[in-house]
Amino acid sequence: MFSLEDITQSVHNWLYETMHPTLALMVEFAIIGVLVIALFAFLGLVLVMMERKVSSWMQLRLGPNRIGPWGWFQTVADTVKLIVKEGMTPNNVDRLLFNLAPILVIIVSMVIMAPIMFAKGFQIWDINIGVLFVSAVSSLSIIGILMAGWASNNKYSLLGAMRSGAQIVSYELSAGLSMLTIVVLTGSLKMSDIIQAQETGWWLFKGHIPAIIAFVIFIIAATAETNRAPFDLAEAESELTAGFHTEYSGMKFALFFLAEYVNIFVVCAIGATLFLGGWMPFHVGNWEQFNHIMDYIPTSIWFFGKTFFLIFVIMWFRWTFPRLRIDQLLNLEWKYLLPISIFNILLVTVIALAGWHF
Amino acid sequence: MNLKQYFADIFNGVKSLATGMKVTGGYFLRHHKEKITEQYPDNRDTLVLAERFRGEVVMLHDENNEHACTGCTACELACPNGTIKIITKFDISPEGKKKKAVDTFIYHLELCTMCNLCVEACPTGAISMANTFEHSVFDRSTLTKQLNKPGSKIRAGVE
């Protein structure tokens, strides 16, 4: 059966047999770098296309339909256009910070890729504080956004960046608490342990009501953390032209754009890992036959299927809900999501201690 | 805010969000049946425009090349931006009486905002709005049109 674990294992063994261990490690670093960049390019092309098709279908439009069959190569043309466009730096910006910001944002998205388990045994770094690592690193991207807003020397950019800061600082809380729900149930921060704990059923189903509440809160907070509609007031087109990336063009803008979509992928991958079992096939308790059939589907398909389902849900949000005002946004977090998630974590602790979950 | 109100707010909020998502989700599932995009240059032959679409002002002529315009200039007066200019003449009726009639109905399409006021002002229903819309030309002067066809005359009985 097709398995990514076997491929990586054989490549690893071959490298260590043929060359010096240090050199082999370097080669592995290079391979991982190339793979991550390839995944970024793939995600940029596919997610932008998916967004445009989903939005058009939800509005009963056709969407892009000129380039390639049913317009599927539209994003390739867009990418070529962005690459050949001049990367302009305006006169009165802080040059260093202005050029550093998009790179910082994209590097942060790249770093969060580390603990994500793409398939069984296919992971860059099985760090033992995986969930903590993700929530810590993902809050770094706000530095890049604030940097872009400040360096642009533009009031719209600065306002957008400040809003984004307020938003991410607030929603980090409930995202962290809803992640913690699963950590309490599993008793481990390690991604592989969390997935292994869901062998008999996903936490969404095993964890009773608290897991469902945590899942809903996590999806809301994830949407807010990635600055997407209905929480996209960092770039609110109607008020701030484009928010923090008003002054950017060409490839530097493309890096922000790419980072947004990669971040969506990352938060959805984390959501899929914590609540929907990551690469774990859909198992139901003791139904041996059913579980066996489900095991035939490759684990990478399971992972990407769940992740893309969550991405679809987040896109569904974007094309349904109107944008929140800044006070409504903070109200939602501090008056509703945070008290509920604190109460929820209390409830889940009781359930975990009493062993009421399946 | 009391506790009951708090939970009622959450419940109503979630309910209204779910209603919205049901609408867009429904569209997503049956988008292939209800597409509203007109693929315009491709479907030029089958394109159907709404009856009330206002593309340009035309004068209605019947098969005898007769129209209903009396040359009263009500449309010219009604027009807010001087789109219509009517040059009148005097017809001599068989009884030898002079009667005012339209000589040239000049219509400046380039000035027209399709407001429909001239059509409403017309007492005899001589002009109306057509739903043609492909008006782009290379020479601006071709947008100044004469609406009454050459050799046309007023229909008998229209006063």
Cβ distance B27 to A59 less than 8 Å, yes or no, reads yes
Cβ distance B23 to A320 less than 8 Å, yes or no, reads yes
Least confident of A206-210, B46-50, B69-73, B82-86: A206-210
Assess contact for A247 and A338: CB atoms under 8 A.
no
Q: Report whether pLDDT(B106) > 80.
A: yes
Residue B138: pLDDT band with limits 50, 70, 90: very high
At A1 the pLDDT is 59
d(CA B63, CA B130): 18
d(CA A315, CA A50): 9
Q: What are phi and psi of A62, to 5 degrees?
A: -90, -30
Sort A1 into a burial class: Cβ within 10 Å, 0-12 / 13-18 / 19+. Answer: exposed
Cβ distance A336 to B10 less than 8 Å, yes or no, reads yes
Cis peptide before A230 (omega within 30 of 0): yes
CB hemisphere CA count around A111 (13 angstroms): 15
The rounded mean pLDDT for chain A is 84
Name the residue facing A58 among B9, B24, B36 (closest C-beta): B24
Helix residue spans in B30-81 (DSSP H): 31-34, 74-78
Cβ distance A62 to B37 less than 8 Å, yes or no, reads yes
CB hemisphere CA count around A322 (13 angstroms): 5
At A53 the pLDDT is 87
pLDDT single digits (tens) A77-109: 888 888 888 878 888 888 888 888 888 888 888
pLDDT single digits (tens) A132-188: 888 888 888 888 888 888 888 888 888 888 888 888 888 888 888 888 888 888 888
Q: A128 is written with which tokens?
A: 């033992």
Average pLDDT over residues A195-202: 79
At A358 the pLDDT is 65
Nearest CA in chain A to B27: A58
Question: Which residues in chain A (50-89) have CB-CB distances under 8 A to chain B?
Answer: 54, 56-62, 65
Kindly report the length of chain A.
358
At A114 the pLDDT is 85
The CATH number of domain B56-154 is 3.30.70.3270:
yes
Count CB pairs under 8 A between chains A and B: 40
Question: Min CA distance, A57 vs chain B (Å)?
Answer: 5
At B3 the pLDDT is 83
- Beta bridge partners, B58, equal B128
E-strand stretches of chain B: 56-59, 66-67, 84-92, 98-108, 127-130, 144-146, 153-154
Between B39 and A219, residue with greater pLDDT:
A219
Give which of A110, A115, A139, A109 is closest to A128, Cα–Cα. A115
DSSP annotation of A332 reads I
Q: A305 is written with which tokens?
A: 């299927």
Cβ distance B34 to A60 less than 8 Å, yes or no, reads yes
Q: Give pTM, 2 decimals.
A: 0.81
At B29 the pLDDT is 86
Three-class SS of residue A89?
coil
Question: Min CA distance, A252 vs chain B (Å)?
Answer: 33
Q: Report whether pLDDT(B116) > 70.
A: yes
The rounded mean pLDDT for chain B is 86
Question: Min CA distance, B28 vs chain A (Å)?
Answer: 5
Average pLDDT over residues A56-84: 85
DSSP annotation of A296 reads T
pLDDT single digits (tens) A285-340: 677 777 777 777 777 888 888 899 999 998 898 888 888 888 888 888 888 888 88
At A303 the pLDDT is 86
Q: B11 — contact with chain A (CB < 8 Å)? A: no
At B92 the pLDDT is 79
Sort B113 into a burial class: Cβ within 10 Å, 0-12 / 13-18 / 19+. Answer: exposed
pLDDT single digits (tens) A250-286: 888 888 888 888 888 888 888 888 888 878 777 776 7
CB hemisphere CA count around A50 (13 angstroms): 19
Share of chain A above pLDDT 70, in %: 98
Q: A227 is written with which tokens?
A: 């600055």
Q: A106 is written with which tokens?
A: 């994209």
Model ipTM value:
0.72
All residues of chain B having their beta carbon less than 8 Å from the beta carbon of residue A60 are: 27, 31, 34-37
Question: Which residues in chain A (269-328) have CB-CB distances under 8 A to chain B?
Answer: 316-317, 319-321
All residues of chain B having their beta carbon less than 8 Å from the beta carbon of residue A57 are: 27-28, 31
Cβ distance A62 to B25 less than 8 Å, yes or no, reads no
Give which of A276, A302, A251 is closest to A197, Cα–Cα. A276
Name the residue facing A320 among B20, B35, B37 (closest C-beta): B20
At B1 the pLDDT is 67
Cβ distance B36 to A60 less than 8 Å, yes or no, reads yes
Average pLDDT over residues A183-211: 81
Cβ distance B35 to A54 less than 8 Å, yes or no, reads no
CA distances from A65 to A27, A55, A72, A324, B37 (A): 42, 14, 7, 32, 11
CA torsion sign for A222, A227, A229, A232 is: positive
Between A1 and A300, residue with greater pLDDT:
A300
Assess contact for B63 and B33: CB atoms under 8 A.
no
Give which of A280, A116, A300, A121 is closest to A201, Cα–Cα. A280
Nearest CA in chain B to A66: B39
What is the C-alpha R_g of chain A?
Answer: 21
- Beta bridge partners, B145, equal B107
